[in-house]
Structure 1
Amino acid sequence: MIRISEFQLKDVVNVSDGKKLGNIGDIEINIQTGKIEAVIINGSGRVLGFFGKDEEIIIPWKNILKVGEDVILVRYKEIGEVVYHEEEA
């Protein structure tokens, strides 16, 4: 078992690029099932490299890969990130 307060102290790291996303600020719980649906990471205060309002990052529970002693490993892809595939000629 883990307490929410302990959960919030862990760093959240994206396994796609190894970047620290931040710390968990809130948790979405489905009140009918009692299960955690997503974790919410407080924003860093920057939006697309410009100073601006804090943006929240919402990570669905299914994208949490591992909860370790110090970190939580997640799979997160930036909104708007486009992956281009070269077509064969």
Structure 2
Amino acid sequence: MLLSEIGDKEIVDLRNGSRHGQLWDAEMLFEKETGQIKSILVPNVQTKMGFLSNHDYMHLPWNSIVKIGEDIIIFESAM
């Protein structure tokens, strides 16, 4: 799957149903040596209060992604 094919997908937390924008809104962290995706930084909806808080992110380990569907990326946050 290409990045351009998943960029428009909505990121949703399975645990509480919160929406964290689209993948284009997120930042990705890569392993320096391998180039593999280590984690994604998604906008934190609990502290999102307008455009001034756009640097407040929730760290989302790549292995917490449960499913990448046609329109949505589902992850399970830690308790």
Question: TM bucket by the smaller chain?
Answer: 0.7 to 0.9
After TM superposition, the score normalised by the length of structure 2 is: 0.74
Q: Specify every segment of 5 or more residues in structure 2 that has no aligned partner in the other structure, as ranges.
A: none
Cα 1:13–1:50, aligned 2, differ >3 Å: closer, same or farther?
A: closer
Looking at secondary structure, tell me which structure has more helix per residue: 2
Larger relative contact order, structure 1 or 2 (CA cutoff 8 Å, min sep 6): 2
Report the Cα distance in structure 1 between the residues aligned to 2:49 and 2:27, rounded to whole angstroms: 24
Map 1:1-89 to 2 at 5 A. 2-24=1-23, 25-43=26-44, 47=47, 53-54=53-54, 55-77=56-78
C-alpha deviation, 1:37, in angstroms: 0.3
After TM superposition, the score normalised by the length of structure 1 is: 0.67
SS in 2 for 1:31: coil
Structure 1 stretches (4+) deviating beyond 4 angstroms? 49-52
Q: How many residues align?
A: 75
Percent identity of equivalent pairs: 23
Question: Bigger radius of gyration, 1 or 2?
Answer: 1
Q: Specify every segment of 5 or more residues in structure 1 that has no aligned partner in the other structure, as ranges.
A: 82-89
